[in-house]
Amino acid sequence: MRLAVLASGSGTILDAMARSGLPISLVLVDRPCGAEKVAPDHGLTCVMVERTSFGPDFDRVDYTGQVTERLVAEGIELVAMAGFGTVLDQPMQDAYGGRILNTHPSLLPAFPGWHAVQDALAYGVKVTGCTVHVATLEVDAGPILAQQAVAVAPDDTVDTLHERIKSLERDLYIRTIREIIDRGCVL
C-alpha cells in the first residue's frame, strides 16, 4: 500500500514514522517547514505543493485539487496527515475518502480543533488523550480508529501536557497505520 505523509511543521511525527520503518512513498508539504529537512534524512522523496495564500482569497478547492492530483499521479493509496496545516476540501475526499488518516491531541469527540490541549485544561478534565481517526470534510469528526488516554497532572501546562500526549500519539499513530497496511484497508 503506497503511503503518503502530508506535513507542515517540524517533522517530528514524520521522523517517528520513518524511524519505525513505515513504508512511506512520498512526503508532501504545503509550505517551507522542518519536514522538508527530515524527509531526505530518511531517503524519502519530498514535494511541495505550496500554499501561497493564507487570506480570504485562498481557493481551498483549487489547492486541494492540486494536492490530490499530485497524490494520484504518484499512485498513493493511503494518506496520513502529520501536522498538515491546511484543511483540504472535496476533491481529496472524492479521490481518497475513507483512506485519509489524522491524529488529534484529545479523546475525540471531545475538544476538536486547533486548541484541543488548551481547551481540555480550561475545561478542567482529569483525563484527556489522543485519537487516530479518518479525516472527513468536517474537521476532527471522522470515524475513530484508535484512542489512548493520558492523565492530567494538577500542575500541567499546555506545553507539559501536550508533550506527554505527543509521545503516546506518535506510537499510537504508527501502530494504527501499520495495522491498516497489514490488513490492506482502513476499516
Q: Give catalytic residue positions.
A: 104
Burial of 115 (0-12, 13-18, 19+ CB in 10 A): middle
User: What are the φ and ψ backbone dihedral angles of 22, each rounded to 5 degrees?
Assistant: -60, 140
Q: Would you put residue 31 in left (φ > 0), alpha (ψ -120 to 50) or beta? A: beta
